[in-house]
Amino acid sequence: METKKNNKVLRLIVIILVGMTAAMNLLGGIGTTCAAFLTKQFPPMWKLMDFQWLYQFFVVATTLVGIAGIWSLIKLIRGGKQAYKNALIVLVVGAVINIIHVVTSILLRGKATPADVVMVINLVTLAFFLFINTPGMRSKVNFDGKSNDSKTNLTGSVTAIVTGLLVLSTPLWAGPTHQFMGSNWVDLLITPLVVSGGSLLIGGSVSLIRIKLNERKQLANQTRQSGTSSAT
């Protein structure tokens, strides 16, 4: 029983990591817009002028990886024969793009934050993904089977809460590296960050509360039925 519970926890951790990776890639792609399309407006990015085309590619590619990550996350939560394979492909593509992005930024700018944060999270998730596919773990954490509704809803709710908190915390981990002459570039995205992050957090929390209330209701009904059966 304990082993089964541990396997469920490990499965949940993997799914949360995929959700975080999808969100980080999406945020990273959108956040690179200042370097890729608004280069002239941000003096610290002037050294990238000759490489705008490359950073524009990073914006498009990383954003698409983020969107594909959300799609693969939904598939993972629901379960299915191709769920693991699809997510693995997205993680590998994301890792390659992020590594190229980080190396390029270090060579051209001397630093790569916050792209390096996105890369690390992507690589950690990929490492976990490869780990659960090893012979000893494959049977314990399996995404091939379809998940029941209660398991799907619970996993989705927790993932939404964690991802929402990550999105809302963007100014904390991205803000310090996006300041210039007293202004913070992250403030340009504060409205969509608050709206999207808040929606995920509230939606996930409401869903989680509903799940717990339903569980209590079902338990109460079972107890009542058990008492009725004993009386007769």
Structure tokens at 195: 């709206």
Structure tokens at 230: 């004993």
CA atoms of 172 and 178, how far apart (whole Å): 11
- Concatenating the DSSP letter of every residue in 95-160 gives HHHHHHHHHHHHHHHS--TTHHHHHHHHHHHHHHHHHTTSHHHHTTS--SSPPPHHHHHHHHHHHH
Give me the residues of the chain with pLDDT under 50, please.
none
Q: 56 is in which domain, residue-wise?
A: 2-231
Structure tokens at 28: 């990273």
CB atoms within 10 A of CB 15: 20
In DSSP terms, which residues pair with 180 in a beta bridge? 183
DSSP type of residue 178: S
pLDDT in tens, 196-225: 888 888 988 988 888 888 878 877 777 777
- pLDDT value, residue 1: 54
- pLDDT value, residue 98: 96
Q: Say how many domains are in the chain.
A: 1
- pLDDT value, residue 148: 64
Residues in Cβ contact with 133 at an 8 Å cutoff, skipping those fewer than 6 apart:
84, 88
DSSP type of residue 189: G
Burial degree of 25 (CB within 10 A; 0-12, 13-18, 19+): buried
SS3 category, 54: helix
- Concatenating the DSSP letter of every residue in 5-49 gives HHHHHHHHHHHHHHHHHHHHHHHHHHHTHHHHT-GGG-GGGGGGG
- pLDDT value, residue 60: 94
